[in-house]
């Protein structure tokens, strides 16, 4: 009996396809795609504004073939004021034009709040045709809001505060977003050990850079995430 | 229904069993195989999937299955918890030789590293050449040969009834 035959026999013990929860999986995929589109859409808008051209090739259109650029189809990325823990997230209108784009890429649309691991990345890209130099602020700051739009986590200590940063045109820098996601509010007393309770949340990312003559802010969100 | 959902449904219905068998051989655990396939489907379809066909989607999912499997950091905790259950099956007995062979092989596979095991599954079950396995794993053919050689040394006693057993 060859190893191939024995592996065939062993593979017969694999679970039946019925174990795949396709409906739940379809929902998670939909949420994840929506989050990616929202995040990348905001970045594309900044690109359009900064470069001054309708760079629609950057627009994620899902399964639809790219059509001639229409900048107005891009979701507008708003600026937010996150206040403090337990306060509602307040929209500040469209984010100002910037020579940098911020893209959030979550490894999974569902996050284990207690995992001591990277749950995604934040990438800052210079989308202008000139070098950008400055000193990083607090970011990337990750805020999580519950279904009511109330801030339930606050950014933890960041290692990337106050670092000089220079990005040449097209150059990027990437930061990691890490769990655990600690609950900062007592609104959900059922959640153990201070971690976020399982459920649907909205994730926001803010990043800032002090330039010689200005203070630049970038935002992304809301991105729907499922906390397990 | 978006086009990605058509491909997703088609893939799950028509290739779900094959994907689960592949994942099961890599993991040796039914529940973990199901988790692995679902994670891979999520990764594959969670991205923008313009122009994705059934064939390209399956290739993407298979690669994701392998990537997740070899990502030891993510899975090391669970692996440590179940490994002793898989490797200590010496009490398996019974008249059905297939059952005994399966248990022995499962135990032997459980002693392999994730990369060794992936090489065995890709080469002997998926019928990929050494060069193709190297490409899938992102390493050189020499490394694949070494992985296969090490794996063979562990599996050979199980197949001693046939010198051609590992061919």
Three-state secondary-structure class, residue A123: strand
Q: How far apart (Å, rounded) are the C-alpha atoms in residues A4 and A110? A: 37
| Nearest chain B Cα distance for residue A51, angstroms | 24
- DSSP secondary structure of A21-33: -HHHHHHHHHHHH
Does B102 contact A13 at a Cβ distance shorter than 8 Å? Answer: yes
Q: How far apart (Å, rounded) are the C-alpha atoms in residues A222 and A42? A: 10
Tens digits of residue pLDDT in A148-185 = 888 888 776 555 667 788 998 888 888 887 755 777 75
* Highest mean pLDDT (candidates A189-198, A200-209, B40-49): A200-209
Does A28 contact B46 at a Cβ distance shorter than 8 Å? Answer: yes
Three-state secondary-structure class, residue A199: strand
Interface of A with B (CB under 8 A): 1-4, 6-17, 19-22, 25-26, 28-29, 32-33, 36-37, 60-65, 108-109, 117
CA distances from A172 to A37, A101, A113, A125 (A): 19, 9, 28, 4
Token pair for B126: 């998926």
Q: How far apart (Å, rounded) are the C-alpha atoms in residues A43 and B40? A: 26
With 0-12 / 13-18 / 19 or more C-beta atoms within 10 angstroms meaning exposed / middle / buried, residue B101 is middle
Interface of B with A in 69-98 (CB under 8 A): 73-74, 98
- DSSP secondary structure of A134-172: EEE-S-SEEEEE-TTSBEEE-----TTTT-EEEE-TT-E
pTM over 0.90: no
Does A1 contact B159 at a Cβ distance shorter than 8 Å? Answer: yes
Q: For residue A90, is pLDDT > 60? A: yes
pLDDT tens, per residue, chain B with 167 residues? 667 888 899 999 999 999 999 999 998 889 989 988 998 898 888 775 666 788 888 988 998 888 888 765 444 544 454 444 444 444 433 343 344 455 678 888 888 888 889 999 999 998 999 998 988 888 889 999 999 999 988 888 776 544 444 55
Q: How far apart (Å, rounded) are the C-alpha atoms in residues B129 and B148? A: 12
Strand runs labelled E in B60-137: none
pLDDT, position A202? 86
pLDDT, position A146? 86
Helices (H), chain A: 3-11, 22-51
CA atoms within 13 A on the CB side of A74: 26
Give mean pLDDT, residues A63-92.
Answer: 61
Does A16 contact B17 at a Cβ distance shorter than 8 Å? Answer: yes
Global ipTM:
0.74
pLDDT, position B49? 60
Could you tell me what percent of chain A has a pLDDT over 90?
A: 7
Three-state secondary-structure class, residue A14: coil
Could you tell me what percent of chain A has a pLDDT over 70?
A: 69
pLDDT, position A128? 84
pLDDT, position A114? 66
* pLDDT tier for residue A66 given thresholds of 50, 70 and 90: very low
CA B12 to chain centroid: 18
Chain B's closest residue to A64, CA to CA, is B50
Sign of CA pseudo-dihedral A34, A40, A42, A48: negative
Does B37 contact A20 at a Cβ distance shorter than 8 Å? Answer: yes
Tens digits of residue pLDDT in A102-150 = 888 877 666 776 666 677 888 898 888 889 998 888 778 888 888 888 8
A chain contacts of residue B5, beta-carbon cutoff 8 Å: 26
Give the angle B112-B116-B27 at the CA atoms, nearest 5°.
65
Tens digits of residue pLDDT in A4-57 = 888 888 999 899 999 998 988 888 888 777 665 555 544 433 333 333 222 222
**For A65, left (φ over 0), alpha (ψ -120 to 50), or beta?**
beta
Query: B163 at the A interface (CB within 8 A)?
Result: no
């Amino acid at each position: 009996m060859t190893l191939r035959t024995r592996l065939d026999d062993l593979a017969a013990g694999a679970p039946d396809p019925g174990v795949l929860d396709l409906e739940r999986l379809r929902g998670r995929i939909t949420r994840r795609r929506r989050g990616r589109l929202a995040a990348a859409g905001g970045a594309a808008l900044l690109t359009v504004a900064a470069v001054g051209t309708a760079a629609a090739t950057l627009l994620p259109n899902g399964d639809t073939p790219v059509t001639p650029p229409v900048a107005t189809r891009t979701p507008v990325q708003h600026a937010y004021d996150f206040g403090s823990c337990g306060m509602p997230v307040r929209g500040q209108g469209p984010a100002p034009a910037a020579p940098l784009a911020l893209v959030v890429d979550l490894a999974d649309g569902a996050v284990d709040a207690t995992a001591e691991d990277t749950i995604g990345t934040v990438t800052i890209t210079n989308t202008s045709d000139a070098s950008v130099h400055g000193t990083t602020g607090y970011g990337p700051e990750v805020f999580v809001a519950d279904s009511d739009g109330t801030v339930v986590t606050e950014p933890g200590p960041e290692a990337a505060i106050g670092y000089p940063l220079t990005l040449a045109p097209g150059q990027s820098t990437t930061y990691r977003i890490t769990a655990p996601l600690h609950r900062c509010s007592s609104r959900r007393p059922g959640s153990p050990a201070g971690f976020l309770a399982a459920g649907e949340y909205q994730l926001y990312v803010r990043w800032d850079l002090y330039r010689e003559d200005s203070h630049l802010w970038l935002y992304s969100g809301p991105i729907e995430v499922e906390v397990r | 229904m978006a086009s990605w959902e058509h491909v997703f449904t088609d893939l799950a219905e028509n290739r779900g069993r094959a994907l689960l068998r592949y994942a099961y051989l890599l993991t040796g655990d039914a529940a973990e195989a199901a988790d692995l396939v679902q994670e891979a489907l999520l990764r594959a379809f969670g991205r923008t999937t313009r122009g994705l066909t059934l064939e390209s989607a399956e290739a993407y999912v298979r690669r994701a299955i392998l990537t997740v499997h070899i990502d030891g950091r993510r899975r090391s905790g669970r692996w440590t918890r179940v490994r002793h259950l898989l490797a200590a099956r010496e009490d398996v007995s019974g008249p059905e030789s297939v059952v005994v062979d399966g248990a022995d092989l499962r135990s032997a596979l459980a002693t392999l590293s994730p990369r060794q095991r992936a090489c065995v599954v890709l080469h002997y079950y998926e019928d990929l050449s050494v060069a193709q396995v190297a490409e899938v794993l992102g390493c050189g053919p020499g490394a694949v040969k070494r992985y296969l050689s090490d794996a063979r040394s562990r599996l050979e006693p199980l197949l001693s009834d046939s010198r051609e057993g590992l061919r």
